[in-house]
Amino acid sequence: MLHAIIMAGGTGTRFWPASRNDSPKQLLRLVGEATMLRQTLDRLGDLAPTERRLIVTNKRLVEATREQLPELPAAAIVGEPCKRDTAPCIGLAALLVSRHDPNATLVVLPADHVIRPAEQFQAAIRQAAAMVDESPGRIVTFGIKPSYPAEVFGYIHCGQSIASRAVPGPVFAVKQFKEKPDAATAKEYVDSGEYYWNSGIFVWRAVTILDALRKRQPEMLAHLEKIVATWDTKDRRNVFEREFAAITPISIDYAVMEHATDVAVIEAPFEWDDLGGWQSLARLLGSDENGNTIVGKHLGLNTSGAIVRTDGEHLVVTLGVKDCIIVHTPNATLVADKHSEEQIRQVVKRLEELGWTDYL
């Protein structure tokens, strides 16, 4: 059966000051009327019923997640005691699902992507699951055809074409996963026509990913197995905290994907954006005749290329500014050059160093 695993433990640092430790990006309404997490669940449709959905988040976000997803049983929301990146998250989820469905197929997806339309997304997941059925040890991912040489996305280098009865569109073997490139390298990738953006969405058998972790990350898997062995006992909390903290953080790309040999990439038939920072709002919400993207109450004179977001009735007025980001929240306001967006991470780090926790 198909199970949906949603990774919802990120902090969304680049969306500060709207994104905070207790209300990160996936719990915010950034694009559309619903939060990113709510949209992710709704997008699944009937791919996986409620009892086959598992949310893995940070333990401090469990209650907020339950408030947003009241239809899910308490057991469907797992709170990690500390951050250990995506490989331990996925390994833990695979072990938990395997307890009741050893032959489970998993669709693993982040909680903070914008994907539309939902119908095409669901059809693509079904096709990927069918490809896994054709070859049970296979890993299937989705590549986004690049529209420009983006530096903020990872890339997938495509190999030879793969014939599959399950997928009507292009499918390729994966040569290699590439990290976020610099501008010149990104242009080379796009000009070659051999690369996709990496969507970060995977479909595989639970046993496939567990076997890969057993081979490549045996110590990690041993810690996770100890956790799951006590899952239904009174020792669960203590064992979870101790064993999970002992894991060395590592992403699924480094732990598994760069070593995997049977990986297929389907050209995604849906629109996709990973909503990586404030500038992504311009891509998704559009801009006015002056290139401004506005969310909230704003008056702009001689203003162009601005991204402005303000809550409630607070008015933001801009005069004679260009290519800036302005985000107003009740206790913090960000004013930044658009070209300095990546440095928002440094702002958050500096706030931590200063101990200004009210702003985190």
Q: Has this prediction a pTM greater than 0.85? A: yes
Q: How many CA atoms lie within 13 A of 125 on its CB side?
A: 26
Confidence of residue 170 (pLDDT cuts 50, 70, 90): very high
Please write the tens of the pLDDT for every residue from 106-157. 999 999 999 999 999 999 999 999 999 999 999 999 999 999 999 888 999 9
Q: Collect all residues with Cβ–Cβ distance below 8 Å to 333 and sequence separation of at least 6.
A: 17, 326, 327
d(CA 249, CA 174): 25
pLDDT at 316 over 90: yes
DSSP 93: H
Q: Which domains does the chain have, with CATH numbers?
A: 2-273 (3.90.550.10), 280-359 (no CATH)
Please write the tens of the pLDDT for every residue from 222-276. 999 999 999 999 999 999 999 999 999 999 999 999 899 999 999 999 999 988 8
User: Residue 261 carries which side chain, given as an amino acid letter?
Assistant: T
Integer angstrom CA distances of residue 280 from 152, 286, 295: 10, 10, 13
